[in-house]
Structure 1
């Protein structure tokens, strides 16, 4: 972790194995199944969880537990009181150490971490390498439904403003002081392939650092800090205000978390992302 300004936001499997008794662990996995009519179908990975999970972990259904289910778009940030109620159901209080992980893409874990940060809880970390690394090391596995803890006393702090809407993003188009950063794949950014959320391509003027490019595909662990700094620096994302986006504010949270760990203090996520922007013909997009 040498090279990160905030290494405390990432924990290793060995550390977690030693601290399971005093840590709340959340499996945040969701599968997005491509669908030509709906873009994708949301499938919480509860079945996967019951087939095997880190001992003592609880399953966090990101869409139902920690998203606004009344919103027009999927995975939108909840009101503070709704998020606090969800945390209390997981047995979480304001002094609780939380570790999030995923059995699929890391950004489901970083999304919940980003939400915790938005509501003032800094005693949370993402498991480096996630379930893939835990399994590869033959660490203990538990099966069956999760066992909920006694209710916690979590209270949300005043939101930190880590999420923005389309007005702020539109105002940033053409502003040299803002880096609008797309965390989707290179093909999606170019408009040449992958899931489309409406019009293909990217928000006008935005740059591309795919969330998937931040992890080693062989091990699922984040790349070394120097390499992460170089990749994000190549997009000039280290010295400007950053608005990260993707399809629905999920993958963007991985870029946002790494920038935060590298010491960037002005990073926000466009919550509705292309799920909103790409469908609004009045908002500028580019391909290529």
Structure 2
């Protein structure tokens, strides 16, 4: 039974820092969009982790170690064995509670969303691990509250990982093709309204991943406000399936987490997202000028 909530507060984490069955994971990746447009520049957060992190934390490298190195697309899920090997090396597995955070590292933007943390949490749940929570507000909120940082490198005994992969949590390109004309499946584009208007998958609706938390405090809005962002899409209907997507399958996991928090369990993430969709000329897109 999962006794870890989807999201924990900084107060909760501070109270549980010394729990022997708790692991804390920094999943930061820095992403910067060039002013002239084009694909973002991405940088591992490992060096920044070494300069200061939440006490007891270990670093999980989503950029270098926890993506499929054989894929033509960035950030797609790695082979199950490789992922589990890395998680167990970090001490994550059966009987272990885990809290993952990031530095809210969308460089040059004021969006408050721990979407790198939600990406790692989603990958863990996809592989069958449930004892995972996101730290609300991430490292920025932790620091703003004057809480301690550490430069010590934590290490933990290797864990055992017996969870089974949940294939229903990952949507493929073919799943999305079928969803376009399926009234029982809701497609949610997680990108900004400007990006959505420029090019999106037919029948998808836009819920920008950056509208769920306060930009200053980094705290999540209450459930009533979170629910309002999705209500008009039909995504909260428990009888519907939801597929979230974005540019590369990262921000989509943040929207998926919010939907889970609001009681919608039937959510899959399109892992290839627009990176894959737009690279295939047979995949239809809707642009603002043709709407």
Normalising by structure 2, we get a TM-score of: 0.89
Q: Secondary structure at the match of 1:100?
A: strand
In structure 1, what is the equivalent of residue 146 of structure 2?
A: 138
Q: C-alpha distance in 2, partners of 1:276/1:180?
A: 16
Counterpart mapping for 1:58-207 below 5 A? 58-104=58-104, 105-143=113-151, 146-191=153-198, 201-207=199-205
Deviations 1:98-141 (A, max 9, x none): 00101024100111111111111111100011111101110111
Q: Secondary structure at the match of 2:168?
A: coil
In structure 2, what is the equivalent of residue 12 of structure 1?
A: 9
In structure 1, the gaps of 5 or more residues are: 1-5, 192-200
Q: Secondary structure at the match of 1:257?
A: helix
Q: C-alpha distance in 1, partners of 2:73/2:98?
A: 27
Q: Secondary structure at the match of 2:85?
A: helix
How far apart are 1:86 and its partner, in Å?
1.0
How far apart are 1:153 and its partner, in Å?
1.8
How far apart are 1:205 and its partner, in Å?
1.5
1:284 aligns with 2:291: no
Aligned residues: 273
C-alpha spacing 1:274/1:183, structure 2 compared with 1 (3 Å): same
How far apart are 1:168 and its partner, in Å?
0.5
Q: C-alpha distance in 1, partners of 2:122/2:268?
A: 10
Q: Secondary structure at the match of 1:21?
A: coil
Contact kept, 8 Å, 2:43 with 2:63, in 1: the verdict is no
Q: Secondary structure at the match of 1:276?
A: helix
Q: C-alpha distance in 1, partners of 2:144/2:38?
A: 35
Q: C-alpha distance in 2, partners of 1:287/1:42?
A: 27
Q: CA RMSD in A?
A: 1.8
Contact kept, 8 Å, 2:188 with 2:243, in 1: the verdict is yes
In structure 2, the gaps of 5 or more residues are: 105-112
C-alpha spacing 1:207/1:7, structure 2 compared with 1 (3 Å): farther
C-alpha spacing 1:168/1:160, structure 2 compared with 1 (3 Å): closer
In structure 1, what is the equivalent of residue 31 of structure 2?
A: 32
Normalising by structure 1, we get a TM-score of: 0.90
Correspondent of 2:216 among 202, 207, 218? 218
Greater RCO between the two (CA within 8 Å, min separation 6)?
A: 1
Contact kept, 8 Å, 1:242 with 1:268, in 2: the verdict is yes
How far apart are 1:160 and its partner, in Å?
4.0
Contact kept, 8 Å, 1:249 with 1:272, in 2: the verdict is yes
1:50 aligns with 2:47: no
C-alpha spacing 1:7/1:230, structure 2 compared with 1 (3 Å): farther
How far apart are 1:248 and its partner, in Å?
0.8
Q: C-alpha distance in 2, partners of 1:261/1:160?
A: 20
Q: C-alpha distance in 2, partners of 1:217/1:38?
A: 25
Contact kept, 8 Å, 2:4 with 2:131, in 1: the verdict is no
How far apart are 1:38 and its partner, in Å?
6.7
Contact kept, 8 Å, 2:245 with 2:271, in 1: the verdict is yes
How far apart are 1:49 and its partner, in Å?
1.3
